[in-house]
Amino acid sequence: MPEPQAVLGGLTESAVFLVVSASGVPGSRARLLDVASSVNDLVRAVGFRQAAAGLTCVVGLGSSFWDAVRPPGAPRPEGLHPFRAVHGAVHDAPSTPGDVLFHVRADRADLTFELTRQLMAALGDAVRVEDHVTGFRYFDSRDLLGFVDGTENPTGRAAVGAAIIPDGPFAGGSHVVVQKYVHDLAAWGALPVEAQERVIGRTKLDDVELPDDVQPPDSHVSLNTIVEEDGTERDVLRDNMAFGDPAAGVLGTYYIAYAADVGVVERMLDRMFVGSPPGRYDRILDVSTPLTGTSFFVPSLDLLESLAADAPDALDAADPGPPPADATPPPAAAPTASPATAPATAAPVGSLAIGSLRGEPS
């Protein structure tokens, strides 16, 4: 199997999530593709200063950008399409634009900062920034809601099976879905711990899944468990990070899920927002609001590094055009509610990282 990008790198102390689109200036697509396909040259140049900190950068390409930069007739990854917005009776997951994702990780924030700075310097006016989030590990891998994040993330061989395409023309590749969630911590904090545990489906202090006989059917755990008819449980590989600006009252979790089959993530989102059965949605969404939603294909390392050389000759003259029809701009973050102005059951701003398909708090 071709060598994957650093998808399996694991949780670090710091991360940057940078989503950009070609700006439309002459040569913008070509420059964006050139920087994306040669990103590991920048990683080596920055990372050698602190090699033990494990600086990596995973690059994902959006659906319309992939079509623009690949030669006519080239094979296309199965399942590559713009993020599909999900509309539930109470909560929605929006679809937002993005040509390329740069997922930067390291155990030092100065390295993730410097690589992002170098990326933006190389890209210049060739891109517009759709989203830029700096994430951090919060205490003992908890999200800002106070629950452990990613308890059931697969490891070892199971992680490879969940995240990496095993064969075919895109072996070694992966799909990745990103969403930025913000939390209403005031409304969440107004709930008793026992009520929070019923929403999540796990105990808060010691991170134990609630017994089956008391597990609510609309808990995060219950609705985010994907089981096939033959009893096989499906997983994705998450690398969620807390982020926030306390002065601005914007606090949340950046959700990122790598999957060999993007349909697994989409089924999970349907269960969360629409419900199973419809109407029995994930109650974490009552204190969690997704602001973005974008989907990308992550080529193998060899394929990534060959993309610029194989691009069509007319790429420089191509106009990126408008975002996909189903892409909507992210709504502005609403101000954090307070217990005096918003009841605990209101649907404010906020989010838990989506969690594993086994339903752990993400």
Domain assignment present for 347: no
Q: Give the residue with greater pLDDT, 228 vs 315.
A: 228
Domain assignment present for 353: no
Q: What is the mean pLDDT of residues 53-57?
A: 96
Q: CB neighbours (10 Å) of residue 167?
A: 8
Is 218 one of the annotated active-site residues of the chain?
no
Whole-model pTM: value is 0.87
Q: pLDDT by residue (tens digit) across 77-110?
A: 999 999 999 999 999 999 999 999 999 999 999 9
Domain assignment present for 31: yes
Q: CB neighbours (10 Å) of residue 32?
A: 25
Quick one: which of 24, 98, 58, 56 has its CA closest to 257? 58
d(CA 345, CA 188): 9
Residue 292 has pLDDT above 50, yes or no: yes
Q: pLDDT by residue (tens digit) across 30-53?
A: 999 999 999 999 999 999 989 999
d(CA 359, CA 70): 37
Q: What does the CA dihedral 121, 109, 305, 180 come to, rounded to 10 degrees? A: -90
Contact 264, 234 (CB under 8 A): yes
SS3 175: strand
Residue 293 has pLDDT above 70, yes or no: yes
Range from 46-50, 203-207, 341-345 carrying the lowest mean pLDDT: 341-345
Domain assignment present for 358: no
Cβ-based burial of 139 (10 A; exposed 0-12, middle 13-18, buried ≥19): exposed
Contact 201, 215 (CB under 8 A): yes
Domain assignment present for 336: no
Domain assignment present for 83: yes
Quick one: which of 174, 176, 262 has its CA closest to 226? 262
- Average per-residue pLDDT in the chain? 88
Distance spanning both ends of the chain, measured CA to CA? 30
Which listed residue (99, 131, 143, 149) is catalytic?
Answer: 149
Q: What does the CA dihedral 102, 175, 218, 197 come to, rounded to 10 degrees? A: -50
Q: What's residue 339's pLDDT?
A: 35
Q: How many domains does the chain have?
A: 1
Helix axes of 39-47 and 301-310: crossing angle, nearest 10 degrees = 120
Q: Which residue range is the domain that position 34 belongs to?
A: 6-311
In the chain, at which residue ranges do the beta strands (DSSP E only) sit? 14-22, 56-61, 86-87, 92-93, 100-106, 127-136, 174-183, 237-238, 241-245, 250-259, 288-290, 294-298
Considering only CA atoms, give the Rg of the chain: 20
State which of 5-9, 229-233, 349-353 shows the largest mean pLDDT. Answer: 5-9
The pairing of strands 174-183 and 288-290 is: antiparallel
Q: What's residue 319's pLDDT?
A: 52
Q: What's residue 12's pLDDT?
A: 94
Domain assignment present for 302: yes
Domain assignment present for 148: yes
Could you give the angle at the alpha carbon of 258 between the alpha carbons of 13 and 69, nearest 5°?
A: 110
Characterize 42-75 residue by residue with b for buried, 16 or more Cβ atoms within 10 angstroms of its Cβ, and e for exposed.
Answer: bbeebbeeeeebbbbbbbbbbbbbbebbbeeeee
Kindly state the percentage of the chain with pLDDT values over 90: 73
